[in-house]
Amino acid sequence: MEEICFLENKEDAPEIKASWKRWIVLGIFASYSLMSAFQWIQFMILPDIFTEFYSIPETTLAWTSMIYMAVFLPLVFPSMAIIENVGLRKSALLGSFFNALGAALKIFAAKPGLFWLILLAQFFNAVAETLVLALPPKIAGLWFPASQISTATSLGVFGNQLGIALGFYIPTLFIKGVYFSTDELENVENLTKSSNSSMNFEETGEEIKIFLSTVAGICVFEFLLVVFLFPSKPEFFANKSSYERAQLDDKQVSPLAGFLSILKRLLLHKSFILLLLNYGLIVGVYYAVSTLLSQLVSDAHESSQVGLMGAIMVVTGLFGSVLGGILLDKTKKFKLISIIFYALTLICCAVFTGVLSIGNLASDFLLIGALGFFMTGYLPIGFEFAAELTYPEPEAISSGLLNWAGMTFGLVTTQICQVVIVKLGVFPTCGILLGMLVIGLCFLFAIKEDLRRQKIEEN
């Protein structure tokens, strides 16, 4: 890591002042981040309806969510380079544009046989997500004062997690699935000879089209908000660390050479690598649980209950995220708070596994809510811990690498657990997830806490 240098002539330093526009910037980002995450899970929460409507197996439908992870892996590094070299506004424009494009394309896919168009649209949404996930710590570091950076990061993550929560529940309000009665089946002409389905494809398609059109309208509106109300940078530096980093950035000769140099330094940073593995493991568990929740608990609960359970898991995580950010800003105990959230995630996951066989609705709701609170709450904590350990490296790159690890572990874990849950059952699947959390907690204990950004603010 490069040395942190202070300017000798502090009299020439510009005024450190946070703009009130920071809340507009954060709010707009959180809104389009919400819709990006919403579209990640919107199909998987209604597997019975969509598999029947498109005549596909559930493993194929799962790619509507897994494509986010598959696309993220090869595009994360170009996305990080784009974010650092074109700036915050252009990155937001690109992300919100691809998000709106994917949502608009899906309007035309509300007919049987057009699942390929759904996947194409999800591809564009996945591209948008690569330009979304790394931005919360960058926005916080650029626009917010030192006393609010962690809280701002958690609020940025809040929007994305709220989108997942709504994606678990809102589709069930729009799409019920329309089916013919037994008497009507004899006179129905739109059923194919090769299918025994009693679904009314025309009316079910109308439900799906209304839902997808509503989503598209919101995404286009958010793109326009970015176009007209999202500035490139604040008028003044909001904190000392952003000012000091700006002096370092100005010394870079080549953007590509600077980007590669940053990557090299980060990948040689021992504590960051431990955090990278630790973060990847817990996010991998998160994605696996979110994607396979209906399969984990479907034997004991109805689909509507499973959808509400998934929403509760993410909603409680929203509060965990905000609480984590506030605790970091108040205490600056990054490693301690990380360990507490991680350990409680492990405990909740273990207890949830133990009571799955009981099938008690109240206990399952309570435990999935607690699991979401601590597991989702850890996400912004990891971003901020990485920013502290790796300063003065750009937050978008350190958080981008954390997201890359999370997507890699998420894709592999989801694929493995999908096979295991079918062949071996729920409990071996949960055993894999518990083992991952134990390993991740060990990595966390091994991290050496060196809060470099705090040293700048306190100087």
Residue 50 lies in a domain: yes
Distance (Å, whole) CA 177 – CA 172: 10
Q: What are the tokens at 185?
A: 């089946």
CA 306 vs. chain centroid, Å, equals 20
Cβ contacts of residue 448 below 8 Å, gap of 6+?
Answer: 270, 271
Residue 360 lies in a domain: yes
Q: What are the tokens at 357?
A: 């066989």
Identify the bridge partners of residue 237 per DSSP, sorted by sequence position: 16
Is residue 238 within 8 A of residue 142, CB to CB? The reply is yes
CA 166 vs. chain centroid, Å, equals 13
List the domain range (segments joined by +) for residue 180. 18-458
Distance (Å, whole) CA 237 – CA 244: 10
Cβ contacts of residue 170 below 8 Å, gap of 6+?
Answer: 38, 42
| This prediction's pTM | 0.81
Residue 279 lies in a domain: yes
Residue 53 lies in a domain: yes
Q: What proportions of the chain, in percent to the nearest 5, are helix, strand and coil?
A: 80, 0, 20
pLDDT per residue as tens, the chain (459 positions): 444 444 445 556 667 888 899 999 999 999 999 999 999 889 988 888 999 999 999 889 989 988 987 888 889 889 988 888 888 999 999 999 999 999 999 999 999 999 999 999 999 999 999 999 889 989 998 999 988 998 999 998 888 888 887 887 899 899 998 888 766 666 655 554 445 667 888 899 999 999 999 999 999 999 999 999 999 889 888 888 888 877 776 555 567 777 888 899 999 999 999 999 999 999 999 888 877 777 777 665 666 677 677 778 878 888 998 999 999 989 989 999 999 999 999 998 888 888 776 767 777 788 888 988 998 889 889 999 999 999 888 888 999 999 899 888 988 888 888 888 888 887 888 889 999 999 999 999 999 988 888 888 776
Residue 13 lies in a domain: no
Residue 10 lies in a domain: no
Residue 133 lies in a domain: yes
How many Cβ atoms are within 10 Å of 256's Cβ, its own excluded?
10
pLDDT of amino acid 184: 62
Residue 5 lies in a domain: no
CATH number, domain containing residue 185? 1.20.1250.20
Domain count within the chain: 1
Distance (Å, whole) CA 372 – CA 79: 28
